[in-house]
Structure 1
Amino acid sequence: MPETDTLSRRVRVGYGLGSVATGAFGTVPGLMLLPYLTDTLGVAAVVAGIVVVLPKAWDVLLNPVAGRISDRTVDPRGPRRPWLLRAGVALAITFALLFAGPDLDSTVLETGYVLVLFLACASAYAFFQVPFVAMPAEMTQGYAERTRLMTWRVAILAFTILLAGATAPAIRDAVGGRDGYRLMGAAMAVVILVGVVGAYRGTRDAPVGSVAPGAGSLRDQLRVVAGARDFRLLLTTWVLQALATGCMLAGVDYLAGDVIGSDGASTILFVCFVGPAILLTPLWSAIGARVGKRRAYLASSVLLGLGAALAATARVAPSGIVFAAVAVVGIGYAGCQVFPLSMLPDVAAADSRRTGENRAGVYTGVWTAGETLGLALGPGVFALVLALGSYRSGTDDAVTQPDSALTAITLGFSLLPAVLVAVSLWWLTRYRLDDSLHADDTDDAQEAPA
């Protein structure tokens, strides 16, 4: 492991640039793909939900494999950095093609095209994201330094979500129709490529850990990871909150257009959501340094859930109330990104210190698989809620939704995510590694029971 705990600002920013790629890919399909399928291609809501979920379900299986492969990669640039470039470029290309499908005059063929390309995107993303998320456990031993590193990452992530979430619908609406989606896909592919190259070049001076790869098969490694109590608790919390976020992300376009009654409201909702995150991420970092990561994570989760619950008034309250509720969600969301992402390398580093083996890639693979599952199920669950509310799919802008569909959109965007966040707190309150580390930032503390 590196002898110093402190990273240069250049490395922190360089690493954070990887969030440009993860933020764009994590935001745009969750925001745009379901409406693209239901309202542009005319795919039934349930079928569209399946198309969105299946490639992500494949990622759940692929991510641990990607982590294992990166653990065992031997390269002068380190085991992780080569994958940033290889997989990142593939991700940008396949993403541009995702929304660039030809007019095939067949809903079945066009749906199949989207499914195949989204599967290719998801596969490339697995081999970019897993090594990227694994890097902090090897770049520094510092408990506090990992939070500083994540502060940069989450701040850049929040800015990217704002950029992608606000401009993607604007580009689509400015051009209109399928050509609007095609241009939007190409523009977002360029954004992804900027993040990929920035992260690859920005981390070239980052320390690289020397802990040996874990022994045994992938199944053996997964068994060890599954036995880490604090990792299981943290992962369960993260997955449930990813599911909640996925539901809200999928519902933005529907809430703006059908409930609030303004397509431009989707951009305002994103500004309300991400603006506070950009401004308050450093404040959350300072709060975590004062009270501990777990306590700060609890506080931010409560804010996230309360904001989502308040958004349940969308059908009866003025739009300003809804925007304010989403701003509260954004305040909580910032903390819900900073802390778990800095707690994950704590768990992986504790395991490495205790065993002398490097399972960071496997830990990260399982982690990102859980995140992928949650974010994928979010649009799928939201699509199911739409179907239960008798949502009417179609390519005609004049389609009028029944009252039941408007209720389903509102509850799927608000109350359902609020309940998921509340349930996640049961696991988070039982996480204990953070308390030991915060009380005594020593090697022995790093070996607290996992």
Structure 2
Amino acid sequence: MTTILKGVLVSAPSLGELEIHAPGYLVLEDGVVSEVLDVLPQRYAGVFVEDFGNRLISQSFTDLHLHAPQYPMLGTGLDLPLLDWLNAYAFPTEARFADEDYAREMYCKLASELIRNGTTRVCMFSSLHRKATLILMEELEKAGLTGFVGKVNMDRNGGKNLQETTEESMQETLRWLEECQDFPHIKPVLTPRFTPSCSDELMAFLGKLAVERGLPVQSHLSENTAELELVRQLHPDCAQYWETYAKYGLWTEQTAMAHCVWSDERERAAMRKAGVTAVHCADSNLNLCSGVSPVRALLNEGVKVALGSDVAGGDTLSMFDVVASTIRASKARRILDDWKTDFLTSAEGWYLGTSAGAAFFGAKPGFAIGEPLHALVLDDGALPPLSTPEERLSRFITRRQDGAVRAVWSDGRRVL
């Protein structure tokens, strides 16, 4: 079935580049982009065109790092540093997801809010609870999202209410992997919470599983100085944090590592060489006083970088706000670097929040021919008019506008 969308098309095919068609036409065949046109040819005469007028049609967002069971505590407890915050707020909140009814209620709301904010691809942590993880995957499927969800593994340093035995963690993971095979759009990702949460035996098991089944991996890396010191104590044989993953086979091009705030040149080189994706979470890094990630250095050195909300260390599910925070953090980093690094532009931020994250799922950037449509329609008609689509996009990033997202497509399906 042929579908045609008309509007001001704005996409980010590469870092810092915007491709604009004002107006333009997106031609879809069964939800897959077949053409991007400035003028509609005669061969499409008679095909219905959904005309969005002067509204922007752009790529939808990818959130490559968030903690689903922390959604109920969004905006809570952000006066503590990372490790204290985990113990005082995050772990007790996650423990509540042993209750399946509670999990269903919270995850239904989370999935709906993601779609309303224009996020269609996710790489997401669940809790350690197998049944709640399956519920999360179900709710994301029903809402129309795509991406990865991981049952968290943690057999140490979680406290009495949020910790598995090593054997439980391994067996529940295997059982979960069998039970989640039929989800068409939400797939499993192995999720050692972070090195302090997983014993050597558990890490070795997950690394072997990743290799045997070709599964992606998500975790945390070099977020906080106290965390770094704890990792050094737990793994005195490893000179750097990344080696605690690499020695178990968890360090590949299918690995997403959140934060990387304190990743030095050597750790960044290891990321580039292995093809690991660094997931920058600017809101969380500032909220928990972790630091300001050297995003420009990561990009300049060839490391793949994408963005995450890191709810609930981050205080918003809106990737508009996440992109804005990313740009502001890069300006703070420029100051910290004695003005020797360039801050990120709006076009660069938009690329990181859309195409860069989509690449982790194997998608081509921008409105690429042959790709299922992931898009949103943006309406700023209530605001004073601006001269160019570039200015309008920048304003969407930096000025919160209730009701700006008017339509959303995910994997070729209209979901809002």
Q: Using structure 1 for the length normalisation, give the TM-score.
A: 0.24
The alignment's TM-score, normalised by the length of structure 2, stands at 0.25
> Greater helix share, 1 or 2?
1
Larger strand percent: 2
**Higher RCO (CA-CA < 8 Å; seq separation 6+):** 1
